[in-house]
Each structure stands twice: as C-alpha cells, then as structure tokens.
Structure 1
Amino acid sequence: MAVPQSHTEKVSVIRNFTDITKMRLSVSVVFSSVAGYLLGCETIDFYILLLLTIGGYCMVGASNVFNQIIERDLDALMDRTKNRPIPAGRMSVSSAFILATLLTIIGISVLYVINPQTAMFGAISIFMYVSLYTPLKTKTPLAVFVGAFPGAIPFMLGWVAATNDFGIEPGTLFMIQFFWQFPHFWAIGWFLFDDYKKGGFYMLPNGKRDRGTAIQVLLYSVWTVLASLIPAVGVTGRLYITPVSAILIAGIGVWLLYYAYRLYKKQTNKAAKQLMLVSVSYITLLQIIYVADKFIR
C-alpha cells in the first residue's frame, strides 16, 4: 500500500525540525531550566512553567540551527554530522535561517512574558553560543571555556524565571553546571577526536588525548562535585540541601570521579565514552535530588 505523499512530507518536516534543533539536547536543557524553576518558585505556576518550556526549547533550538548553518561545510566532512538536514540536502540554508530567526523571536518573546531578566539571559545565551563559541571551535581549545557560559545558563535561568532576580542562588546553579561542562565535553572530544579532526575542531584543552587532558578532566570533575555540595553548607541563601541529599550528591560525585580517574588511568575512547554517559547521569540525578529535597523536607 502506497504511503500518501502529504504524510511522507509531514514526517520529513517533523524529522528535519527535530534533527536541526537537536531535540534530545534541547529537551535536556529544558529539563535543567524546569529544575531551576522548581527550586526557585514559592508555588508552582504551570503557566510560567509552560512558557519556560516553550521559550527554553526555542532558545536552544535557535542556537543549534544557527550553529548548523555556520558549520554546514564542516558538518559534511564528519561522520557524526554529515546526515544533518543541511549537509544532507534535506533543508536549504535559507529555510534554516528563517527557522532560526523565528525560533529566536518566539523564544525571547515568550521568555520576556515571564520577566525581562529571563529574556535577557536567553538572548545572551544565543549570542554567546552562535557568535563566540561556534566560530572559536575551529581556532582554539578555549572554545569549550567560552561555550561553558551559555551551556550553564539554563539551570539558573529557571530560578530567574521563578523569582525575577539574579543572586547567590542562581549564581550557584550556574557555577555547578559551568564546571560540569568541562569533563562532559572533553570526554566527548576525546572519543570523537578523529571525527572532530576531520572538521578542524579543537575540543581538548591541549589538543591531544594524553595525560595532560586527562588530569584537567579529573580536576574539573572534582570542582564540579565540590560546587554541587556548597548548598549543603548553608551559604547560598534559599538554595539549600539537607545532609541526606548532600550524602546522595557526594555518592554520585564519587561515581563521577571514579570514571574521570578511569579515563586518567586508561586514556581510551571507551573510558571517555563511559565518562560522558556518567556525566549526563550525574547532572540529571543532581537536579532531581535538589528538587526532591526541596519538596520532601
């Protein structure tokens, strides 16, 4: 039985949209924003939560689309990215640009309805990701440092959306996710080193899969865990976790450090991939523990 052409085109449009906005990544970023909102709010406003979800997805999606427009020729060189909509010929550059522009306008407008500070941080995130991080990726390993700033904004963005205020609490959430970026992205840069090399990307701190890079991964993993435990000390205002949650955070912190140490000892692609997976689990579990701690205590 033949599939109607309209159905096929609809499926193709949806696939292109989810691919070019990197749906899984965007959803994980929205998850961080929602966690930040739940930590900051006095009572849950589901209307604000809906706006944050829509605006957050549009914000991240726009960044990803602009990124893929700029890197389309390099994406075509790498196995990991050659089947993305633009290099694969499933979407034109002009169509992608229109989509990115619409997502930017919608995202910032929706975040502005929440409050102006949330919209401002959303706009800063898009600007830094597209105008600074993306062009620096082919020029210097410092690109990961620059990219860590927009990458760390979503967790704190949720708190700002809930409170219309930037203080010690969202600053702490920002710091946690900022340090976390380094072991996460350097692990990816390690096991995808050869593929990144085809596109001319500099993702590792010293450009090599060696002991020096592994030491930095381990150090930033330590700082990530230490930053994650600061709310247990009671110096971060309304952001506080109980001793029980601190023990849980310390436990998953040891888990993260173990795999960072394994990369240091083994220096293999397998160890790097394992660390990447553990790092994703770490930040997700941390956010769940933080939120659960607030609503259970």
Structure 2
Amino acid sequence: MTTQTLSYSLPAEWRDFLALTKPRVMTLVVFTGLCGLLVAPGHLHPVLGFTAILCIALGAGAAAALNQWYEADLDAVMKRTASRPLPAGRMDRQSALHFGVGLGVFSVVLMGVATNWFAAAVLAASILFYVLVYTVWLKRRTPQNIVIGGAAGAFPPLIGWAAVTGDASTLPLLLFALIFLWTPPHFWALSLFVRSDYAKAGVPMLPVVAGARATRAQILLYTVPMAAAAVAPWALGLAGLLYGIAAGALSLLFLGLAVQVFANQATEPAQMKPEKRLFAFSILYLFALFGALVVDHWVAA
C-alpha cells in the first residue's frame, strides 16, 4: 500500500478542517467585518456583536472550504497549494463539501436569528458569489476572474455594518468599493511571482495570459481609483481628519510601491522584490486603513 493510498484511509483531523477555512485569509476578512460593525451608527449588544463577527468568520470559512472542494484538481498541481488537505490526501472531497455547505448554512441562519435577516442575506450573497461566480464560473475562464470575483472579499464591512443597522448606506458601500479595487493589485502582485504555478494548472490569471508587463500596468492602473476610494470617506465628510491623513499617507505608499512594480522588468520570481513588497504591504494597508477608521470614529464620538 502506498503512502498516498494509506492517507485516504485515515480520517481527517480537526486541523485539516481548520485548514479548509483558510484561517490566515480569514483574519483580514474578520477584521474588516469587525471595523464595519464598530463604525456603524447604533448599538449592538456585545454578545450579539461577537456572534455577528463569528458568523462572518464561519461564512468566510465555508466559502474557502467549498472553493477547495471544487478546485482540488488545481490545488494538486500547484506547488503553493499541494499541501492542502484535499490534494495531500488527508481528506475526501465529500467531507469537504458537507463541511462547507453545513458551515455556510449555519452561519447565515445564526446571523439572521442573532442580528437581522438583511445582514444574513448579504452574508449568504458573499458566500454564493465567491463559490458560484468566482470559483465555478470565472476563475478557469477569464483573466478578469480576480477583478469581478474580488467583490466576494469586499462584503465583510458591509455585513458588519448591516448587523448593527439592518441596512446599507454610503460609508459601507465605499468600504466595499475600496476592497473591490484593492483586490486586483493585491492579488496580481502575488500572481506575478507564482505565475508558473498558475500556468501549470491552466488557470488564466492575467500574468499567464497577458504577460508580466501588462499585469504591472494593470496594478498601477487599479491603484489610482483604489486610493481615491480610500480617501473618499474623509472627502465626503463621513470620516474625520485623522482617517484622512492615514488614508492619504498609506495610499501614497501603496502608489509608490505600485510604481516600483511597474518599473521592474524582471521575469524571474527571485528578482521580483518590488512585487513581493507590494503584496506584503497591501495586507498591512487594509489593516492600517480600517484600524484608522475605527480610531477616528472613536475620537469623534
């Protein structure tokens, strides 16, 4: 009996189910959802607030699990994903499917019961968008997959806001737009230095289809409206000066790194230091920006 065959005969551990939820990615999702909840007008009991954030985390985990269930064949041929539970043979696909569906349904129902059904509906839309629109429909068909599919990751602050208010207004929609515009430069920076993985798997990511030069130009192109969306809450009087300064400074840094990426001519991953710096900073950028929004809200309150 081979090691691969034996691994399929063993039951999955709790660590494998946790890995299906992509906990590192979930951290940013939970944080932006929490910030949306904290800056929303009105009051939500702390227990219900915790429950709302838990539901956002569970919904994100469900979407990640269903993504890995559907893409097990792609993950198996990509170096950076081959060690995930399904391609590594530590879990069967049916278990991943049942786990993802069950987690998703539970998160939506709990959100509706604990807060309101508008927030639950937005949570359900985010899960379905990520699984059906991005994973099933777009990812294997078009290099614009991450552009349109990026909407899935933009929902959390809108969900957090809706959990408190039961509706959506200008500020959470601007935060949605910010993350939507942030996703392409963030993800394309990563895809530039893991291009060979996507090419091997046959995924039409922009660097594979259009080349590195065109991808670098698109990163710079998307950074400009992203920066505008970041500053917009202050410009429209929805956030204070503290947030405006933070948004301006962080966006200028992001733009500077995007210019460095655009100027880079490297084709080998080892020479793509500007791309790696931009990818790392893009994560810090959202954490810092949303954190500044919350602090600004507290200062003004």
TM-score by length of 2: 0.90
C-alpha contact (below 8 Å) 2:43/2:164 kept by paired residues: no
Please tell me the residue identity of whatever aligns with 1:134.
Answer: T
Q: Please give the per-residue CA displacement for 1:45-84, whole angstroms capped at 9, x wherever unaligned.
A: 2122211122111111111111111111111101111111
Aligned residue number for residue 259 of structure 1: 257
Q: Please give the per-residue CA displacement for 1:86-143, whole angstroms capped at 9, x wherever unaligned.
A: 1111111111111112101111111112111111111111111111111321211121
Please state how far the C-alpha of 1:179 moved relative to its aligned partner.
0.7
Paired with 1:19 and 1:59, the residues of 2 have a C-alpha distance of 14
Please state how far the C-alpha of 1:234 moved relative to its aligned partner.
2.8
**Which stretches in structure 2 are left out of the alignment for 5+ residues?**
1-9, 267-271
Q: Please give the per-residue CA displacement for 1:221-261, whole angstroms capped at 9, x wherever unaligned.
A: 111111111111235xxxx2222321121111111111111
Q: Please give the per-residue CA displacement for 1:261-297, whole angstroms capped at 9, x wherever unaligned.
A: 1100014432211111111111110000000000012
Q: Please give the per-residue CA displacement for 1:181-209, whole angstroms capped at 9, x wherever unaligned.
A: 11111111111111111111122278234
Please tell me the residue identity of whatever aligns with 1:263.
Answer: V
Cα 1:32–1:116 change in 2 (3 A) is same
For the pair 1:132 / 2:133, whether they are aligned, the reply is yes
Paired with 1:209 and 1:285, the residues of 2 have a C-alpha distance of 31
Give 3-state SS (helix, strand or coil) of 2:90's partner: coil
Please tell me the residue identity of whatever aligns with 2:39.
Answer: L
C-alpha contact (below 8 Å) 1:38/1:44 kept by paired residues: no
- Identity among equivalent positions (%) equals 33
Q: Indicate the larger mover: 224-233 or 284-293.
A: 224-233
Give 3-state SS (helix, strand or coil) of 2:13's partner: helix
Q: Indicate the larger mover: 206-215 or 273-282.
A: 206-215
Paired with 1:55 and 1:200, the residues of 2 have a C-alpha distance of 34
Aligned residue number for residue 34 of structure 1: 34
Please tell me the residue identity of whatever aligns with 2:275.
Answer: A
Please tell me the residue identity of whatever aligns with 1:148.
Answer: G
Aligned residue number for residue 289 of structure 1: 292
User: How big is the alpha-carbon RMSD for the aligned residues of Structure 1 and Structure 2?
Assistant: 1.8
Please tell me the residue identity of whatever aligns with 1:92.
Answer: D
Please tell me the residue identity of whatever aligns with 2:58.
Answer: C
Q: Indicate the larger mover: 164-173 or 277-286.
A: 164-173
Cα 1:43–1:267 change in 2 (3 A) is farther
Aligned residue number for residue 106 of structure 2: 106
Give 3-state SS (helix, strand or coil) of 1:264's partner: helix
C-alpha contact (below 8 Å) 1:206/1:212 kept by paired residues: no
Please state how far the C-alpha of 1:211 moved relative to its aligned partner.
2.6
C-alpha contact (below 8 Å) 1:58/1:104 kept by paired residues: yes
Paired with 2:197 and 2:297, the residues of 1 have a C-alpha distance of 42
C-alpha contact (below 8 Å) 2:199/2:208 kept by paired residues: no
Paired with 1:15 and 1:267, the residues of 2 have a C-alpha distance of 41
C-alpha contact (below 8 Å) 1:206/1:213 kept by paired residues: no
Please tell me the residue identity of whatever aligns with 1:187.
Answer: A
1:64-75 correspondence runs (5 A):
64-75=64-75
C-alpha contact (below 8 Å) 1:59/1:104 kept by paired residues: yes
Please state how far the C-alpha of 1:166 moved relative to its aligned partner.
1.4
Q: 1:230 aligns with which of 224, 229, 232?
A: 232
Paired with 1:41 and 1:55, the residues of 2 have a C-alpha distance of 20
Aligned residue number for residue 158 of structure 2: 156
Please state how far the C-alpha of 1:158 moved relative to its aligned partner.
0.9
TM-score by length of 1: 0.91
Paired with 2:242 and 2:108, the residues of 1 have a C-alpha distance of 38
Please state how far the C-alpha of 1:44 moved relative to its aligned partner.
5.0
C-alpha contact (below 8 Å) 2:192/2:212 kept by paired residues: no
Aligned residue number for residue 240 of structure 2: 242
| Count of residues paired in the alignment | 284
Aligned residue number for residue 204 of structure 1: 206
Paired with 2:243 and 2:173, the residues of 1 have a C-alpha distance of 20
Paired with 1:272 and 1:204, the residues of 2 have a C-alpha distance of 14
C-alpha contact (below 8 Å) 1:75/1:82 kept by paired residues: yes
